[in-house]
Amino acid sequence: MQSIEGIRESVSSEPDFAVDTTFVLFFLALEFGRSAAGLGLDCVLLGISLAAVLAMPYFLINASIGPDFGRWLLGRGLIAMFATLLGLVFDQTIGLVLPDVMRYIPMALLIVSAMVSCYFQFYGLLRLRPAK
Q: Are 19 and 74 in contact (CB under 8 A)?
A: no
Nearest CA to 124 out of 45, 42, 14, 44 is that of 14
pTM for this prediction:
0.78
* Per-domain residue ranges of the chain: 17-126
Give dist(CA 99, CA 40) in Å, integer: 24
pLDDT digits (tens, 9 = 90+) for 46-105: 889 999 999 888 877 665 666 788 888 999 999 999 999 999 999 999 889 989 999 899
